[in-house]
Structure 1
Amino acid sequence: MFRAMIALVAALGLISPVTAVASATVPSTPQVPAADFFRHAEFTNVTLSPDGRHIAVTVPEGDRTLLAVLRVADKQIVGKWDYGSNRHIENVFWVNDERILFRASIKLGSLDYRVMPGDMYASNIDGTQRIDIPNGNYYQILDRVRDEPGMVWVQRSINNAFLFKLDSRTGRTITVASAPLDQGSFVLDHEGNVRYVVGMMKDRRIRTLRREEDAWTLVHETREGGGQRRPLGFHADNRRVYFAVSDRGEPERIMLFDPESGEETVLSHDEVASPDGFVTSGDGRHLLAVRYQPHRPVYDILEENHPEARTLTRLISAFPDHAVEFRNLSADGNLVLFRTYSDVDPGAYYLFDRQAGKATFLLANRSWIRPEQMARMRPVRFTARDGLEINAYLTVPNQVEPKNLPLVMLVHGGPHGPRDVWGFDPEAQFLASRGYAVLQVNYRGSGGYGQAFMAKGFKRWGREMQDDLTDAVNWITGLGIADPGRICIYGASYGGYAALMSVVREPELYRCAIGYVGVYSLPMMFQRGDIPQSASGRNYLRRVLPADRAEQQAQSPAFNVERIKVPVMLVHGARDQRVPIEQMQFLISQMEKSGRSPEKVIVQRREGHGFYDLDNRVELYTELQAFLDRHIGPSREAAVAP
């Protein structure tokens, strides 16, 4: 049961970064087995205790995810947790040096986590004094309560937004404040005073409120997709406030606002991308850096003279070919837990000691992956037909001239909010290893580029969102990189919708299409699945999809099957609650009525929204490769690795 943890202890030796990289260098093999791309990572998350003496590590193991706490000094396990089949421990939060909070979620597919009622737990790090916190899955943890050991700030939204103090030793809560928002997130100053709340109403209005004495006053209100004024936290002086500000939905700029004088100072801004993350000092009082992902991840260091910020700069410079992700710092700021990764490297965790000036290698996400065998992911940009700039990523097989290659358009799901990013992508790497160029497009409607860019996709499913994919294909073939006669399209969830809708809209552009747990009938989205089961879900559908049924059908692959002229492969899990299998069954019935049937259909009766079991994953991608090889393959005799 705990053999992965035994491997963890072995991996946690004091290995320098140079040694760790050197030990990973092995002769390349002709073809990496499919299973190597789709095995679950050895470790999914690592967090550092406030005193820097322990780390908490979540470990996938078969049908569950375990948790272990280890001493940094000798790598010994001091506590471990296993909540049984299909229980996945996540969101570990250090209450103090000796106590943690965490959740155990139910996974209904690789693309869909669910947290069930009651599934929050607290425990001492040695496994003693464990408690179950009733309805804890609804709590969002904000921070530790200053000067009250064992207490944390949590918030919960039930019609109104509520702020509580939670006692991690007993599970009891004390209500501190509420706000007239259907979903809200509170902002406290460094003394623990409630000062702001920002959140969303059921009709998707986004509101920012300020606390004045015992009443809330409106600071800003907008519709989803418009400008925003979102408080992030307080400056070290406890008077000025950091805000993310956008006037018309453009990428947010980070500003420092003085409520007393009204003075505002722009601290950070990127023309292309919205802030992607923030790094604060160990004591939580200084905003040290803002992270963006316009193409590759970049950091804007705000307090360059702060000693912890200087450490961030040193670490970023030490890994020039990698992105550096700062996880957390010890309370005194001396120890920095960080992760490095790249397009060819799934990533590794390190612990940097500022006083000693030394980084210690801790562990790797997928130690079996050899970066020299992987293909580079290149950020690219093109202009859509209406002049909108679109960002994308191109992965080209190793040791192959980028000319007249077979191409797979890999479409991300969501669609509104998620985006493709630079980094190790198992699907893109698998396809590239089999000889295919891969193009991943952040079409309009994707997240990460400002609210206005995302809103450009509202009600435009099957229209301009599809045009962006078409324009991307025409652009890449125009450069001579892709062979216009050997292009297929593939995606999951919304990506499956886009794949099928693309061959409806452009029946001559692609040679095949693959839909994985995809949406094929927009009218059915209002009737089936978990989205229409909540008021916020129904409002979301009304916001992003057309209201007129005829227009919904016009934007649905299942109602336009007569235009599908290419071979189709469909994949679904019988237990999918996000996109029920009835979506695929309806598409198949419509295709059969028109005299066509999918060439290949895969259904796994125990899977949900995305396949989780490794054997099922390997079967899926083996069949996917065979399907592509038949229709656009770089070599008709290409071997399929088991």
Structure 2
Amino acid sequence: MLNAQMISREELFNPVKILSVKISPSGHHFCEVRCDQKGTMNLFLEDGKALTHFTDPEIKRFYWSSDSTKIVFLKDVGGTRNFHIWIVDIKTKELKNCTEERELVLGNIYGISSTQSRAVVGIAGENPLYHDVYSLDLNTGSLEKIYTNSRFARIWLDDNLDIALKTEVHKNGAMTLVHANDEVLLNLSPDDSFHTTPVAIHGSCCTFLDTRTSDTTSLKTLDLKTGEEQILAHDPISDIGGLIFEGNRLVAYSTCYTKTTWHAFDPKVKSDLDFLSQRISTEFELLSQSADHNIWIVRSTSPLNGVRIFRFKRRDQTLTLLSQSPKIEGLVEMKPLVIPSRDGLNLVCYLTLPKHQKGPVPLILFPHGGPFQARDSFGFNAYHQWLASRGYAVLSVNFRLSSGFGKSFVTAGNGEWGGKAQDDLIDAANWCIKEKIADPEKIALFGGSYGGYAALAGLAFTPDYFACCVAACAPSNLKTVMQKVPLYWESSASPLSDEGV
């Protein structure tokens, strides 16, 4: 590989970038989360002026107040994952930690009022596994407890910010969904609890994702008073992805098998989604929108253009580029593939080849982390580009356990770490060898988290197959990993139960 063809690692992995942008309800301002060279995150307005001056990571989520004068956000303290709840005034720059007096916060923001200067937030209670619920005055920063929680892992609010539903997760991973008065609404099996969840509640109408009667998620409405259900959408091979609402009205949803497809219930929204798919990429998401729904902030990803953030004015169909990272030449395409496993599963994979490939080249398998609630998707991948520019083919494999392809695809990997989930990686590599893409003597496995575990498993179970394995932040002893599970996992399910998670 000639040096002139190599892309600078510093450019590809440069931490200096805009991570997210949200438009104010008025549409007159937008707020950015920017990351500096040290990985520190701060809030900035559209004029480039900083609202915060933190020196440690991380800002997790942020929301505008309904009057577009304040921003409420979650901020990590000292890298401990103990998120405090902050408010900043965009005019005075006054910054307030609303939970400063509390040692353990583990904060969450459940909802922001669309008519009042009020939010509803969660703060770790007497039992830190569960969040008590508070009303937060965005003008004063004062907190008022409205619910003491002793057993519910999730709280769901309606559009008036009243508690509508609560979820209790049992040690075996099963889940019970109850009304605000604790009356049982649904009992979900461990398999369905991963995929069946409310997404929005407007009055007595709950929009939710459901796998109780299907393998992939169905998009449904549920009348919380009568129990009547209605199916809005279902895809037989992929789960429902993103949703777009205009106020209380669901106007669009996405699915993603190999690439993202947007589906609209509203003709005007369909026209806008088609416009964006043609102009920027099929792979985009709506980050925020103005209160009148005219201005969208969208983030797109594509192999050749990196990650870009746009302001889209729907009435006049104009796009303004707000951010692009990285902005460099020499990037190469990514090819989606569907490769069969030895036992008949379809593995959605993504292949990146070096420029001017001639004949079989060294192949690096790059499995994702997680593995639960995680998958690889089409778009910009810095690791793919980095390695391809150095002469390697790179293959990301959605092995069994990956999300997005239905519950049976996930459960096919139960108990198969280092087993059939590992076979999926080798099956995908063998396909590349058969297709004369990969050199069978030069197969490597590289990954982090679960991907790191897979790299270690490659060395342990099939050492002759791989020329090299690189494990980053890998769980090497599953027993000790489960014994030291983070506190915030324990309210979701107990991995030490007979069933585990």
Residue 175 (structure 2) aligned to one of 202, 206, 214: 206
Looking at structure 1, the residues matched to 170 and 140 of structure 2 have their Cα atoms a distance apart, in angstroms, of 32
Q: Which sections of structure 2, spanning at least 5 residues, go unmatched?
A: none
Q: 1:369-419 CA distances to partner (integer Å, 9 max, x unpaired)?
A: 22xx11211111122222222211111112224x42210111211122221
Aligned to 2:54: 83
Residue 374 (structure 1) aligned to one of 331, 339, 344: 331
Q: Which range moved further: 149-158 or 494-503?
A: 149-158
CA displacement at 1:487 relative to structure 2: 0.8
CA contact (8 A) 1:431 1:438 kept: yes
Looking at structure 1, the residues matched to 406 and 335 of structure 2 have their Cα atoms a distance apart, in angstroms, of 22
CA contact (8 A) 1:329 1:335 kept: yes
CA displacement at 1:157 relative to structure 2: 5.8
CA contact (8 A) 1:179 1:216 kept: no
Aligned to 1:48: 23
CA contact (8 A) 1:227 1:250 kept: no
CA contact (8 A) 1:195 1:210 kept: yes
CA contact (8 A) 2:74 2:107 kept: no
Looking at structure 2, the residues matched to 156 and 76 of structure 1 have their Cα atoms a distance apart, in angstroms, of 32
Looking at structure 2, the residues matched to 451 and 46 of structure 1 have their Cα atoms a distance apart, in angstroms, of 33
Q: 1:528-547 CA distances to partner (integer Å, 9 max, x unpaired)?
A: x554897458822556779x
Looking at structure 2, the residues matched to 120 and 406 of structure 1 have their Cα atoms a distance apart, in angstroms, of 48
SS of aligned partner of 1:539:
coil
1:300 and 2:263 aligned: yes
Looking at structure 1, the residues matched to 347 and 168 of structure 2 have their Cα atoms a distance apart, in angstroms, of 29
Aligned to 1:22: none
Aligned to 2:229: 264
Aligned to 1:131: 96
Q: 1:539-558 CA distances to partner (integer Å, 9 max, x unpaired)?
A: 22556779xxxxxxxxxxxx
SS of aligned partner of 1:347:
strand
Q: 1:3-48 CA distances to partner (integer Å, 9 max, x unpaired)?
A: xxxxxxxxxxxxxxxxxxxxxxxxx952212222221142111111
Q: Which one has the bigger helix percentage?
A: 1
Looking at structure 2, the residues matched to 57 and 433 of structure 1 have their Cα atoms a distance apart, in angstroms, of 31
Identity percentage of aligned residues? 24
The CA RMSD over aligned residues, in Å, is 2.8
Q: 1:145-174 CA distances to partner (integer Å, 9 max, x unpaired)?
A: 253x22012234645554332112333333
Aligned to 1:39: 14
Q: 1:128-153 CA distances to partner (integer Å, 9 max, x unpaired)?
A: 33211215852322222253x22012
Given the superposition, is the C-alpha separation of residues 199 and 439 from structure 1 closer, same or farther in structure 2, using an over 3 Å criterion? farther
What TM-score, normalized by structure 2, do the two folds share? Answer: 0.89
Aligned to 1:585: none
CA displacement at 1:64 relative to structure 2: 4.4
Aligned to 2:73: 102
**Letter paired with 2:277:** I
CA displacement at 1:442 relative to structure 2: 1.0
Looking at structure 1, the residues matched to 194 and 19 of structure 2 have their Cα atoms a distance apart, in angstroms, of 34
Given the superposition, is the C-alpha separation of residues 185 and 538 from structure 1 closer, same or farther in structure 2, using an over 3 Å criterion? closer
**Letter paired with 1:139:** G
CA displacement at 1:278 relative to structure 2: 1.4
CA contact (8 A) 1:232 1:243 kept: yes
The residue correspondences of 1:414-563 to structure 2 (distance < 5 A) are: 414-527=370-483, 529-531=484-486, 535-536=490-491, 539-540=494-495, 542=497
Aligned to 1:341: 301
Q: 1:160-195 CA distances to partner (integer Å, 9 max, x unpaired)?
A: 55433211233333333456644113131x344432
What TM-score, normalized by structure 1, do the two folds share? Answer: 0.71
Residue 243 (structure 2) aligned to one of 268, 278, 297: 278
Aligned to 1:619: none
1:143 and 2:99 aligned: no
Looking at structure 1, the residues matched to 498 and 341 of structure 2 have their Cα atoms a distance apart, in angstroms, of 24
CA displacement at 1:474 relative to structure 2: 1.7
The residue correspondences of 1:581-596 to structure 2 (distance < 5 A) are: none
Given the superposition, is the C-alpha separation of residues 107 and 461 from structure 1 closer, same or farther in structure 2, using an over 3 Å criterion? farther
1:358 and 2:318 aligned: yes
Aligned to 2:139: 169
CA displacement at 1:123 relative to structure 2: 1.2
Looking at structure 2, the residues matched to 156 and 66 of structure 1 have their Cα atoms a distance apart, in angstroms, of 22
Given the superposition, is the C-alpha separation of residues 497 and 57 from structure 1 closer, same or farther in structure 2, using an over 3 Å criterion? same
Aligned to 2:347: 390
**Letter paired with 2:10:** A
Q: Which range moved further: 89-98 or 532-541?
A: 532-541
Q: 1:414-466 CA distances to partner (integer Å, 9 max, x unpaired)?
A: 12222111111111111111111111111111222233322322322111111
Q: 1:331-355 CA distances to partner (integer Å, 9 max, x unpaired)?
A: 0111111122212222222212233
Looking at structure 2, the residues matched to 536 and 270 of structure 1 have their Cα atoms a distance apart, in angstroms, of 31
Looking at structure 2, the residues matched to 227 and 324 of structure 1 have their Cα atoms a distance apart, in angstroms, of 24
CA displacement at 1:80 relative to structure 2: 2.2
Q: 1:278-325 CA distances to partner (integer Å, 9 max, x unpaired)?
A: 1111xx211121122211122121x223x4554333323333x45222
Q: How many residues align?
A: 492
Aligned to 1:57: 32
1:288 and 2:251 aligned: yes
**Letter paired with 1:194:** I
**Letter paired with 2:111:** D
CA displacement at 1:206 relative to structure 2: 1.9
Aligned to 1:605: none
Given the superposition, is the C-alpha separation of residues 41 and 331 from structure 1 closer, same or farther in structure 2, using an over 3 Å criterion? same
**Letter paired with 1:316:** S
Aligned to 1:93: 63
CA contact (8 A) 2:62 2:72 kept: yes
